[in-house]
Amino acid sequence: MTKDKATTITSLNYRDSTSSYNNNGSVHDSMHNYRKAFSYHENVLKIKQKSLPHNHSSLAYSYNNIGAVNYNMGNYPKALSYYKKGFEIQQQSLPPNHPDVASSYNNIGLVHYNMGNYLEALSSHHASLAIYQKTPPLNQSSMAMSYNNIGAVHYRMGNHSEALSSFEKALEIQQQSLPVNDHDLAMSYNNIGLVHKDMCNYPEALLFYEKALEIKQQSLPANHPDLAPSCMSIGLAHYSLGNYPKALSYYKKGLKIQQQSLSPNHTYLAHSYNNIGSVHGKLDNHPKALSCHEKALEIRQHLLPASHPDLAMSYNNIGLVHDSMGNYSKALSFHEKALKIRQQLLPANHPDLAMSYNNIGLVHDSMGNYRKALSCHEKALEIRQQSLPASHPDLAMSYNNIGIVHDSMDNYSKALSSFEKALEIQQKSLPPNHPDLAMSYNNIGLVLDSMDNHQKALSCHEKALEIRQQSLPASHPDLAMSYNNIGAVNYNMGNYPKALSYYTKGLEIQQQSLPDIHPTLAMFYNNIGLVHDRMDNYPEALSFHEKALEIRQHLLPANHPDLAMSYNNIGIVHDSMDNYPKALSSFEKALEIQQKSLPPDHPNLASFYNTIGFMHKNMGNYSKARTFYKHAIKIAEQSLPANHSNLQLYRNNLEHVKNKQ
């Protein structure tokens, strides 16, 4: 969005023994040798403090330079402290409209931006712009920079219209004052492309990214490192369109340019490995994704201090891959490392902290730790409510995730309320064919289906499918999920041939892109097995459920609820085939898992006790049947309303075996 490097001011008037230290510090800063740069600039400051008055303007330059090094090291609170010290001196020694005062406002704004203090950042950048506007012919490039920085803040706040307006003002100034192939024009085209991407105007985004690349290609050699970011941006547009092979191609072009022109440990290479890893993740090439993110981490560990925010980003990305691979303990460990760094660096309401809590919550949800998941997502929501506008899409993300956990805990009314809040935000902030809207319709459909509102559920899932068909390629995994969900509603309505058709469509899409051992394939095998069971195709049902179980045993911890689901479904098929001992064994395995992962009064436990009681009844073990029915009734009385149909069922079952020996 804007240049990551803070402005480094070197005094032109102060010529003494400090000049060589200053120059060496600036050189080391440009080479990313931040510790050495800090040492040189600190030496300059110490010399000046001994020989100059405490409010001498030259001290302001030193404070600014030390602030810039801390900024580039990711030490934002220290950077802010030094910038403010320099700014206080400038206010005492310089006229209020001096360009150096404007530069200090700019630098302070950049720090606030990176700390998530967007209103403070906006205020500082507007103050900087106001000074530059007073002498416009002399400060055209600085005015454009201010508009770009203001646009960047609005972009992070989700104010897309304001961001676009600011970036377009920057571009207009640059078009009037710069040659047509100037690199600053390319930066503005790139920024405008970013906003269009976020507004899902992907063709427009691609057009602006390509303009930026065209400018650079006219004036730079084919392997110049400045070409790489444009390749990355074009890759990003294709990534957003779901054109993952094209995205990968452009990302690799960018990486190849960087490898020819930069040192092997340059920070830009880390960014490129990160992007390539993200594409491999979308293509479900998880080992390749992990390798790329680990390369990025290795470079960053070599270059950056242990608490740098880019390290947190790498830990976060590695955690996401492990989560996708079902390595939940490892995923949790990496997300917690990212959170620890962010807690050290950032204010308590920074959006990046919300993202860490969000990702930790997702892992806990995958592990069946629903209460921990809910706590994390609620923390993320609280932070986002404090730091973002009420219509920001990230708030919708939090509401969706909270809804998913409530759905997993069978709190359907709370889940529906959360999903509807998410949809309401997205309808205000996103175009009508945005994939995130499809996700919310999908989630609402899932809850309505669980609440037996099947027709409304079907309508929601069909809306989700329609949006995805408009915005995604035909082989996109999200289309597969829509087919799966429409299949599920048809299954619950008893339309088994339709359900099987939709499940099969979804499975075919997923098999094109996923490895043979993947949790999503297990889900499809499970669902197809359920349909075959209802259609009395018991051997086929058993085969699909066993495929699902095999994948889950390979990927999931031993007490994961999805394993219990597989054992339960295998038990149901054996029961239908009158293989009662095998059915009982499967149900007992499922119950053992559920006892470890659910609270003792969870209604699902009551259901399992009832099922096992039913098996014992069928096998003539009436005493054991009574014991299990009583367990089911006891839990149901604690967790269900007095008139709940399941509670009545359990009591009826107990009554049937009450006097049998």
Does 333 map to a domain? Answer: no
Does 593 map to a domain? Answer: yes
Q: What angle do CA 279, 284, 288 make, to 5 degrees?
A: 65
Two tokens, residue 360: 């930790």
Query: Which pLDDT does position 13 carry in this prediction?
Result: 39
Two tokens, residue 204: 């427009």
Number of domains in the chain: 1
> Where do runs of H (alpha helix) occur along 2-95?
18-30, 34-51, 57-72, 76-93
360 in Cβ contact with 339 (< 8 Å): yes
Does 428 map to a domain? Answer: no
Two tokens, residue 612: 């096992």
Query: Which pLDDT does position 51 carry in this prediction?
Result: 72
Q: Which residues of 440-450 are buried (b: 16+ CB within 10 A; e: fewer)?
A: bbbbbbbbbbb
Two tokens, residue 487: 């299949």
Q: C-alpha 543: how far from its chain's center?
A: 36
Work out the number of other CB atoms within 10 angstroms of the CB of residue 380: 26
Does 533 map to a domain? Answer: yes
CATH number at residue 536: 1.25.40.10
CA dist 83 and 40 (Å) reads: 17
Contacts of 524 (CB under 8 A, 6+ apart): 484, 503, 506, 507, 510
Q: C-alpha 5: how far from its chain's center?
A: 25
Does 307 map to a domain? Answer: no
Contacts of 388 (CB under 8 A, 6+ apart): 157, 158, 351, 394, 395
Contacts of 299 (CB under 8 A, 6+ apart): 265, 266, 267, 269, 270, 273
CA dist 295 and 269 (Å) reads: 9
Taking Cα atoms as reference points, which of 118, 107, 103 lies closest to residue 70?
107
pTM exceeds 0.75? no
Does 522 map to a domain? Answer: yes
Work out the number of other CB atoms within 10 angstroms of the CB of residue 627: 15
Does 218 map to a domain? Answer: no
Q: Domain residues for 593?
A: 508-657
Does 620 map to a domain? Answer: yes
Residue 136 is classified by DSSP as G
Taking Cα atoms as reference points, which of 350, 363, 444 lies closest to residue 396?
444
Query: For the chain (length 661 residues), average pLDDT per consecutive 10?
Result: 38 44 52 61 69 74 82 84 90 91 94 88 96 84 94 89 95 92 91 87 89 90 87 89 85 93 86 95 85 96 87 96 86 97 88 95 88 96 90 92 92 97 90 88 96 96 95 83 97 97 96 82 97 97 98 86 94 95 96 87 91 94 95 91 90 91 76
Cα–Cα distances in Å, from 339 out to 118, 295, 312, 334, 388? 21, 20, 7, 9, 19
Three-state secondary-structure class, residue 71: helix
22 in Cβ contact with 41 (< 8 Å): yes
Query: Which pLDDT does position 8 carry in this prediction?
Result: 34
